[in-house]
Chains A and B, each alone.
Chain A
Amino acid sequence: MESPRDRKYFARKKVCRFCTESLEMNYKNIDTLSRYITDRKKIVPKRNSGLCARCQRQLATEIKRARFMALLPYTVLH
């Protein structure tokens, strides 16, 4: 029998979008990367991005590269 706790939240299955859809993760691909930064231009954490560990690490690297090349901002305070 289903316990109340089980129904409390939707168990939305998270799948890594980069693994399943084989999107290109590249620091030059700003449109893709910018979906994984917050309003304050922080990198979205893994718990929210739903990426697997490997993709999340890669994502962080690519975002940081994009930031260095002034493709993405470091902060909103520039």
Chain B
Amino acid sequence: MLWVDKYRPKSLDKVIVHEDIAQKLKKLVSEQDCPHLLFYGPSGSGKKTLIMALLKQIYGASAEKVKVENRAWKVDAGSRTIDLELTTLSSTNHVELTPSDAGFQDRYIVQEIIKEMAKNRPIDTKGKKGYKVLVLNEVDKLSREAQHSLRRTMEKYSSSCRLILCCNSSSKVTEAIKSRCLNVRINAPSQEEIVKVLEFVAKKESLQLPQGFAARIAEKSNRSLRRAILSLETCRVQNYPFTGNQVISPMDWEEYVAEIATDMMKEQSPKKLFQVRGKVYELLVNCIPPEVILKRLLHELLKKLDSELKLEVCHWAAYYEHRMRLGQKAIFHIEAFVAKFMSIYKNFLISTFG
């Protein structure tokens, strides 16, 4: 098992990174009834870990016994019946699922499963909560209709069912839902926190961490705890005992983006743009989200740019990212950004060097 999973805190008490939030959550569920929760924050910041720990806090050890189910629903939607299938993860007290997997029919899933959970409401035995929990992942990917249908359901069945929503960005979640939930922002852990966690892991694994090594890993990790721990383990596998200047192997796709950036700096022409397009396609094919590509590309470019250009380039990156989110074909917009950058850069070169 990877260290990421191995040293994942199982209870709210053991949480290292977002300790204050964990304590508040603990208080929330132990003292009073738990409201609907919306966790949002970048990936690798610990949302899921907190949710799991919270479930354990609510239901005890039974929350850890989960089983995977491939469930099929038959939804009667007026004139026709819709067959849906989705993988769910459930314990006796909670159900976890990613409704956006169902595509545009996600709203049926949401309604259906909440109704179902409300129907077989657990008997309020002593020490057990009178409600079940539904964990919905990737709420920001939910369609607008699903989110609209969710808000009524949330209120209607709130006595028997609590929702824990989890997403990366709350901006795509409708206001209606946000106002019905307790919003918990899980920000990316700071570098110090990451270092702390890395040291904790190293101690558990009885490893010798050289001075500043953890900090270097933390720095490279992009403030993602998961990445930090994974790269620590990678370093351990590649070379142990650690040396202070050991190479921390980078992510492959990031290197690839860096290549693209150098390409763009080298030559500015439609022909080059065509090559860049091919590379961007490569990245997209390999499941790298386009927003991430654009962000990383900007990051790489900014490293190399003159400071007077930075502002303009950033502006256009933001502009095209916005358009990309409004549109569908990410490649159009990424390419447009690349072209824009090439143009800016070429103009700059011409004006400076003649």
Q: Do A and B come from one complex?
A: no
Contact surface of B with A, Cβ cutoff 8 Å: none
Contact surface of A with B, Cβ cutoff 8 Å: none
